[in-house]
């Protein structure tokens, strides 16, 4: 998974650097460079800080890519790169992608939320249970099984009544796995 995410970040950065996002300021400028150096009115762009040791893509930049890109592949890659950044508000940024028109982007958001874990991820994953695509709902059920916790258990119980048999079976399996894991802890 880390290799895939590393490639995801590389793909997003390649897209950014190739100029496929036409803006006044290039996206590859580190936020610290934006604040430290003034805009050159003759050039119309922000100067690039060549000596900056920060990672080239900050979460705000990736969030903008996620929100602004028309390409579902780019949005998926931005999700993986945001998850890799390990910021505290990643679940919220990624969670909004659960309403994306592309089911692949919604599944990527679920996968990323699974990696983040915690209560915030479980709360966002509840959106996945209402997805119109049964595959996305099943992915959300499996993610809830991995995330665990009281909210996840409650949501898995609700998923037992899903109209899709595959979703119901996945919910039952996740409930059984969680019960088994609890028995092992005792």
The three state secondary structure string of the chain is CHHHHHHHHHHHHHHHHCCCCCCCCCCCCCHHHHHHCCCECCCCECCCCCCCCCCCCCHHHHHHHHHHCCCHHHHHHHHHHHHHHCCCCHHHHHHHHHHCCCHHHHHHHHHHHHHHCHHHHHHHHHHHCCCCCHHHHHHHHHHHHHHCCHHHHHHHHHHCCCCCHHHHHHHHHHHHHHHHHHHHHC
CATH of the domain at 127: 1.25.10.10
Residue 73 lies in a domain: no
* Residue 186 included in any domain: yes
- For 103-158, write each residue's pLDDT tens digit: 999 999 999 999 998 889 999 999 999 999 999 999 999 999 999 999 999 999 99
Is position 170 within any domain? yes
| Domain annotation covers residue 52 | no
Q: Is residue 138 part of a domain?
A: yes
pLDDT of residue 169: 98
Give the count of domains, the chain. Answer: 1
Average pLDDT estimate for 13-28: 40
The domain of 167 spans: 117-186
Give the confidence band of 23 by pLDDT, cuts at 50, 70, 90.
very low
Whether 53 maps to a domain, the answer reads: no
Q: In this structure, is residue 174 part of a structural domain?
A: yes
> What confidence tens digit (pLDDT) does each residue in 169-180 have?
999 999 999 998
pTM of the model: 0.69
Is 135 within the bounds of a domain? yes
């Amino acid at each position: 998974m880390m290799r895939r995410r590393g490639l995801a970040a590389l793909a997003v950065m390649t897209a950014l650097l190739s100029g496929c996002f036409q803006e006044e300021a290039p996206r590859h400028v580190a936020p610290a460079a934006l604040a430290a150096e003034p805009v050159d009115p003759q050039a119309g762009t922000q100067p690039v800080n060549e000596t900056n040791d920060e990672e080239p893509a900050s979460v705000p930049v990736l969030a903008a890519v996620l929100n602004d890109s028309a390409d579902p592949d780019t949005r998926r890659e931005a999700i993986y790169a945001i998850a890799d950044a390990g910021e505290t508000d990643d679940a919220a940024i990624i969670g909004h992608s659960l309403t994306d028109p592309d089911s692949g982007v919604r599944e990527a958001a679920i996968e990323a939320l699974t990696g983040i874990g915690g209560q915030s991820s479980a709360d966002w994953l509840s959106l996945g249970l209402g997805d119109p695509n049964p595959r996305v709902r099943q992915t959300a059920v499996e993610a809830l099984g991995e995330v665990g916790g009281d909210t996840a258990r409650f949501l898995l119980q609700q998923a037992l009544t899903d109209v899709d048999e595959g979703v119901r079976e996945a919910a039952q399996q996740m409930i059984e796995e969680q019960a088994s894991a609890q028995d092992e802890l005792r």
